[in-house]
Amino acid sequence: MKRFFARWGEGYLYHPSLLQKLLSLLLLPLSGLYCLAAYLRYRRSVPLYYGIPVVSVGNLSVGGSGKTPLVIELARHFSKPAIVLRGYGRKSRGMVVVKDRDILCDIAASGDEAMLYATSLPHAVVIVSEIRERAIAEAKAIGCDIVLLDDGYGKHTIDKLDLIIDVQTPNPF
């Protein structure tokens, strides 16, 4: 069942059928309500500074926009960067320090993207956490000089510089 929805979603995003296009049009009013709620949440949020510079790399489309290579390249320009991400696909929960000098866990606890960062950047600290604010505080306590958030655009309670990647997609819906 999961595979069916994954294929349906991928088809919808990249090569939508007529039925999927009609469904998009029917759901358009709900999209408007969602956008209004997101905007109100954004306007109510108060960004907090955590005592360390934070740069967020986000995207406006799903997958394949180049966030990971951009974060890796940015991290190479700092002496002790921390990369904070959610850790999609990991088996663990909560905050996990994946790497601080040495790799401290396996791919099941970190997720594949976090492990890619850990193996690609020998001088970086890599932390996975659903609660990004906690991971930022941990990075500061470890002694990092900057935090790079992978996919942190929607975290409006964090004072950060947002870098947004927008790639063209074949689906205007």
Q: 106 and 150 in contact (C-beta within 8 Å)?
A: no
Q: Which residues contact 75 (CB under 8 A, 6 or more apart)?
A: 81, 83, 117, 121, 124, 148
How confident is the model at residue 13, as a pLDDT? 75
How confident is the model at residue 158, as a pLDDT? 95
pTM: 0.82
How confident is the model at residue 173, as a pLDDT? 55
Segments making up each domain of the chain, as ranges: 2-44, 54-165
Provide block-wise average pLDDT over 10 residues at a time, the chain (173 residues): 81 82 89 93 93 91 79 96 94 95 94 95 96 96 96 89 80 59
Q: 110 and 87 in contact (C-beta within 8 Å)?
A: yes
How confident is the model at residue 66, as a pLDDT? 81
How confident is the model at residue 60, as a pLDDT? 74
Residue burial 5-41, b: 16+ Cβ < 10 Å; e: rest: eeeeeeebbeebeeebeeeeeeeeeeeeeeeeeeeee
Eight-class DSSP state of 8: H
How confident is the model at residue 169, as a pLDDT? 66
**Distance in angstroms (rounded) separating the CA atoms of residues 80 and 52:** 12
